[in-house]
Amino acid sequence: MIGKTHLKKLLTATLLILTLAFVEIGSTPQTALADTATKPATAAEVFSANCAGCHINGSNIIRRGKNLKQKALKKYKMDSIANIANLVTNGKNIMPSYKDRLSEQQIIDVAAYVLSQAETDWK
């Protein structure tokens, strides 16, 4: 027959093992989330978070003619990565500057994204 002292030790050890197992299981998703959080955002994600408020689907909710469609980009000489990146970096008129919000690489990536989307008419 098992004594009360032995039973208490067995129960304590079992609870300790279960607690450690649950702690380990619970920490695995957080590690996975931490790995995901350190991935750099894609150009589409950066555009969606910073540009789509005014330029959803390549449009321009403030000045319709100055949209991000290929025809308008050519008309306003914004049909190169360098020119778009310059505008995003420095802003112009109502278009704000993003040099303090986005890295240089993010700006270049977004400029390339805008050109590629314009080529497919934002589809």
Q: Write the pLDDT tens digit of every residue in 34-58.
A: 555 567 789 999 999 999 999 999 9
Q: Which residue has the higher pLDDT, 10 or 107?
A: 107
Q: Write the pLDDT tens digit of every residue in 71-103.
A: 999 999 999 999 999 999 999 999 999 999 999
List the one residue out of 50, 62, 58 whose CA is nearest residue 78: 58
Exposed, middle or buried, 59 (CB in 10 Å: 0-12/13-18/19+)? Answer: middle
Measure the CA–CA gap between 14 and 45, rounded to whole angstroms. 47
Q: Which residue has the tokens 């986005």?
A: 102
Q: Write the pLDDT tens digit of every residue in 7-36.
A: 666 656 565 565 555 555 555 555 445 555
In terms of DSSP H, where are the helices of the chain? 4-37, 43-50, 52-55, 70-75, 81-90, 104-119
- Residue 118: predicted pLDDT: 97
- Residue 99: predicted pLDDT: 97
CB 71 within 8 A of CB 63: no
> Is the pTM of the predicted complex or chain greater than 0.75?
no
